Structure 1
Amino acid sequence: MSAREVIVSAARELFGEQGYTAVTIKEIAHRSGYSPAMVMKTMGSKAELYAAATPVVPAEELSDTEPLGFNLARRLVERREAGQTEPWAMAAIRVHDAPDKEKAREEIHDKYLNSLRDRLGKEAGKAELVMTLLVGFGSGMRTLGLFAEVPAEELVQRYGTLLQQVIDN
């Protein structure tokens, strides 16, 4: 494995365990066996490292077993339950923390928004509305700790209904 692969793997584990904010470059360095300076030289920034550690485009990992809104909600809840990182919750933070905000914004649009547009069609604003709901849902669950006491399936049904209404109208 290359240094980059080892660092990204260590970061993926730590982000999944603790979340973006709680993880430090020093912890990633320790887990990967490299110095903090090497981590930064290899990755550029913590936001760029997070982006590399969460390569999944959230809307592409879906199945066709249920309506899209419910499936989107289910994936967010499943990632929370499994302690995995939440790309939707980190989208705004990645842009905010990026040294080149416009480049980061374009990457988020390319990876996330365009994936939704491909699924939803090019109707003006629909993908943006769905993405806004997903970013809010992911941030609410992961950053703010909302819905912690709501059973997973109930949460999927409640938020999936909201997403599906936007998708269908």
Structure 2
Amino acid sequence: MTSREAIIAAARQLFAEQGYTAVTIKDIASKAGYSPAMVMKAMGSKAELYAAATPLAPSDEELSTEPLGFQLARRLVERRETGQPEPWAMAPIRVHDSPDRELAREETRNKYLGWLSERLGPQQQKAELVMALLIGFGSGMRSIGLFAEVPAEELIQRYGAILQQIIDS
């Protein structure tokens, strides 16, 4: 892993846990194992680092053959189980904490709704409903610790069915 990759990984984790405002360059440097000066040299500014650390929109690499609602639920639960950053939970944080909220809102809508719309068809409201459910599910599990005692596969089946019902409607 390069120094840049290590810095971005540390920033992604800290921003996901604490949000943009609460995280300092010093925090990121400490977590990544570099000096604050090295972090600034590699990334330019905190805002640029935040943009680089924001998880990408979902990708088709992760898709399987099960129905989309179950696939989406599975991805969120598996990322929680493995401690990976959760893009759906970070989406509202990215907008709220961004130095340019309007730009962040537009980029987030384009990435996430765009990805969903490609899979769900032209009904914008359906994509928005699924996006809202994914943001709530991801945020609830990560920020509040919801469903911590529910076995992973049971949670995937129950929440996946809710998502799939909307997708199929």
Same fold (TM over 0.5): yes
1:5, CA displacement in angstroms?
Answer: 4.0
Aligned equivalents of 2:106, 2:76: Cα separation in 1: 23
Unaligned runs of 5+ in 2: none
Q: Which residue of 1 is the match for residue 17 of structure 2?
A: 20
TM-score by length of 2: 0.84
Would the alpha carbon gap of residues 61 and 52 (structure 1) be closer, same or farther in structure 2, given more than 3 Å must change? Answer: farther
**Is the counterpart of residue 136 in structure 1 residue 133 in structure 2?**
no
**Within 2, Cα distance between the matches of 1:33 and 1:136?**
34
Give 1:109 shift: 1.3
Q: Does 1:167 align with 2:167?
A: yes
Would you say the 8 A contact 1:59–1:72 is kept in 2?
Answer: no
Tell me the CA shift for residue 40 of structure 1: 10
2:126 corresponds to 1:126: yes
Q: Which residue pairs with 2:44 in the alignment?
A: 42
- d(CA) in 2 for partners of 1:38 and 1:69? 40
Q: Cα distance 1:62–1:2, how it changes in 2: closer, same or farther (>3 A)?
A: closer
Post-superposition Cα deviations, 1:14-61, rounded to whole Å, max 9, x if no partner, equal x18x9421883222112241317827972433xx63442244322534
**1:117-160 Cα deviation digits (max 9, x unpaired):** 01111113110000000000001100010000000000000000
What TM-score do the two structures reach when normalised by structure 1? 0.84
Q: Provide closer, same or farther for how the CA distance between residues 103 and 66 of structure 1 changes in structure 2, counting only shifts above 3 A.
A: same
1:88-167 superposed matches below 5 A: 88-167=88-167
Q: State how far apart, in whole Å, the 2-side matches of 1:87 and 1:29 are.
A: 22
Q: Given that residues 94 and 104 in structure 1 are in contact (C-alpha distance below 8 angstroms), is that contact kept between their aligned partners in structure 2?
A: yes
Distance, in Å, in 2 between the alignment partners of 1:61 and 1:54 is 18
Contact 1:20 1:50 (8 Å CA) reproduced: no
Sequence identity, in percent? 60
Structure-1 separation of matches of 2:139 and 2:102: 21
Which blocks of at least 5 consecutive residues in structure 1 are unaligned? none
**Cα RMSD (Å):** 2.7
Give aligned pairs, total. Answer: 164
Q: 1:96 to 1:39 in 2, by over 3 A?
A: farther
Q: Hey, what does 2:34 align to over in structure 1?
A: 33
**Structure 2 residue matching 1:58: 3-state secondary structure:** coil
